[in-house]
Amino acid sequence: MSQNRRPIYIGTEPDDATCERHGQMERQAPVVTFDGHIHALTKPVSVCNCPECCLEIARESGGPSQTEQDAFESCWRQLVDAEWRNGLQRLFIDLGRGAVEDDTIHIHEKLDAEEIPNYLRDSEEWTVQTMGNSSAE
């Protein structure tokens, strides 16, 4: 089996998010949690993953592999741990403490609407809730 895996794609062409081994990747939330904070991509780019590659990597590294989402989060954590301080953080803006649940991004702090990237605030796929309001749309 080839070790040439591409478990995660971050870019502006989601149609290019294809795993050579498993085909089209699945889209993920345009935010990540790191140190308990929500970090949104600064530009409207897509985050996609190959569930099969993530499951393989999670199993090999002893990470959680009960579900595809667990495996994606494990792969994402490995990428963030390895690359966050080496430039990956430049792609993201820290929105403060929060969590992601289904298609809702919960931010546990008060933010002005302008502090949330336009693509995220105007998204039809994601709802952003901040402390003190029901939606940042």
CB 60 within 8 A of CB 43: no
pLDDT of residue 133: 58
Region 50-78: mean pLDDT is: 88
- pLDDT above 70 for 125: yes
pLDDT of residue 47: 87
Q: Of 19, 16, 15, give the one whose Cα is nearest residue 5.
A: 19
User: Residue 118 — φ and ψ, nearest 5°?
Assistant: -55, -45
- pLDDT above 60 for 32: yes
pTM as predicted: 0.72
Q: What angle is formed at CA 48 by the lines to CA 76 and CA 120, rounded to 5 degrees?
A: 95
pLDDT of residue 2: 45
State the pLDDT confidence band at 98, using cuts at 50, 70 and 90: very high
Spatial distance between the Cα atoms of 120 and 30, rounded to a whole number of angstroms = 8
pLDDT of residue 3: 59
b/e sequence 25-36, b meaning 16+ C-beta within 10 Å: beebbbbbbbee
pLDDT of residue 50: 94
